[in-house]
């Protein structure tokens, strides 16, 4: 019986003649990334490194400087005004984050409905976010004015006394929070709206067919499926609120009696008004560590809540 040999032939891969060497591909990628890397190094990495070096010196804008080691950090840790300013920053963060998240969610629900002129609602909700801080200050300074402000005119019309919104210690921080919510809620609104549009409408239709009401659909479908979006918004909002400076500086300059002074404003005062750049740099790095600790704790708590749900 004849044996037939079976020859197994391995297919030879076809190598394209036009394929570039790996080093040329890498070189092209680095060439495209080089402008960004250079700008990032000059305007981000170098200021961070130079600021850290600056914090170990008694450095003044007037030109005198000498190395003092950790003295700036010791002074900052014992500076009661600095920690009071940090507490004011926390206070602003707590007061602003909750309404900014809730209102952004409610506004996204309204704008996501199938209503006529839907684009008008989206434009109205988002347009304040693109305004610069100075314009926001002009608008709300007119509203809050104790002599000709719109809010006080309403109060006096119904027989109530006028309020010094920005100069009264009891209302100054709340007034800044209200203006901030009006100004920045559009960003959270856009994120929530994008999250809502990613939810398949078939889920809502199926729930409605099964007899679920609007509150049941909101509680069982909308909110759970927007949990990742909510986590992102809360993290971004807390970080943005901790860095508050513009509106507080424009509205009250930290007053009255320092009741609205934020951490960044106190750092600015030491660096560019009393010319203690080294001390201001040390406080900025201490505040940076505080923000990192808060962010890490927030990430752990939100991640744990997401996994448990």
d(CA 85, CA 302): 27
Hey, what's the torsion of the CAs at 61, 65, 68, 69, to 10 degrees? 70
Could you report the per-residue pLDDT of 12-30, keeping only the tens digit for each?
555 455 566 777 777 888 8
pLDDT, average across residues 128-151: 92
Q: How many Å separate Cα 68 from the centre of its chain?
A: 35
The answer to whether 43 touches 52, Cβ cutoff 8 Å, is no
What pLDDT score does 11 carry?
A: 55
What pLDDT score does 4 carry?
A: 47
Could you report the per-residue pLDDT of 231-241, keeping only the tens digit for each?
899 999 999 99
Could you report the per-residue pLDDT of 191-229, keeping only the tens digit for each?
999 999 888 888 887 888 877 778 888 888 888 889 889
Q: Which of 64-68, 87-91, 194-198, 258-262 has the lowest mean pLDDT?
A: 64-68
What pLDDT score does 10 carry?
A: 53
Give the burial string for 182-203 (b: 16+ CB within 10 Å, else e): bbbbbbbbbbbbebbeeeeeee
pLDDT confidence band for 56 (50 / 70 / 90): very high
Give the domains, in start order, of the chain with CATH numbers.
85-260 (1.10.3720.10)
What pLDDT score does 74 carry?
A: 95
Hey, what's the torsion of the CAs at 40, 42, 44, 47, to 10 degrees? 170
d(CA 52, CA 74): 15
Bridge partners (DSSP) listed for residue 67: 57
Among residues of the chain, what percentage have pLDDT more than 70?
92
pLDDT confidence band for 126 (50 / 70 / 90): very high
pLDDT, average across residues 254-273: 92
Place of tokens 């079976």: 6
What are φ and ψ of residue 57, in 5° steps? -125, 150
pLDDT confidence band for 2 (50 / 70 / 90): very low
The answer to whether 135 touches 123, Cβ cutoff 8 Å, is no
Which 8-state DSSP code applies to residue 67?
B
Q: Where are the beta strands (DSSP E) in the chain?
A: none
Q: What is the pTM of this model?
A: 0.84
Q: What is the mean pLDDT of the chain?
A: 87
What pLDDT score does 306 carry?
A: 63
What pLDDT score does 283 carry?
A: 96
pLDDT, average across residues 251-266: 92
């Amino acid at each position: 019986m004849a044996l037939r040999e079976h020859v197994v032939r391995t297919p030879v891969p076809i190598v394209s003649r036009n394929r570039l060497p790996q080093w040329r591909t890498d070189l092209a990628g680095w060439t495209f990334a080089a402008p960004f890397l250079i700008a990032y190094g000059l305007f981000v990495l170098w200021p961070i490194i130079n600021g850290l070096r600056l914090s170990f010196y008694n450095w003044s804008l007037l030109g005198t400087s000498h190395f003092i080691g950790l003295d700036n950090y010791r002074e900052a840790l014992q500076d009661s005004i600095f920690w009071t300013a940090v507490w004011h920053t926390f206070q602003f963060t707590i007061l602003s984050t909750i309404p900014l998240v809730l209102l952004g969610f409610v506004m996204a629900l309204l704008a996501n409905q199938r209503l006529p002129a839907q684009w008008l609602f989206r434009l109205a909700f988002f347009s304040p976010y693109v305004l610069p801080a100075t314009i926001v200050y002009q608008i709300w300074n007119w509203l809050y004015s104790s002599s000709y402000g719109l809010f006080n005119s309403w109060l006096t019309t119904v027989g109530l006394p006028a309020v010094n919104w920005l100069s009264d210690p009891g209302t100054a921080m709340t007034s800044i929070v209200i203006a901030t919510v009006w100004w920045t809620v559009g960003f959270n609104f856009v994120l929530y709206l994008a999250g809502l549009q990613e939810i398949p409408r078939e889920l809502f239709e199926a729930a409605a067919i099964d007899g679920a009401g609007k509150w049941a659909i909101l509680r069982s479908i909308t909110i759970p499926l927007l949990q990742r979006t909510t986590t992102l918004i809360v993290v971004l909002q807390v970080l943005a609120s901790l860095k508050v400076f513009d509106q507080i500086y424009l509205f009250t300059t930290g007053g009255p009696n320092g009741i609205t002074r934020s951490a960044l404003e106190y750092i600015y005062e030491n660096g560019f008004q009393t010319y203690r750049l080294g001390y201001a740099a040390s406080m900025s790095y201490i505040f940076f560590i505080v923000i990192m600790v808060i962010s890490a704790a927030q990430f752990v708590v939100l991640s744990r809540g997401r996994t448990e749900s």
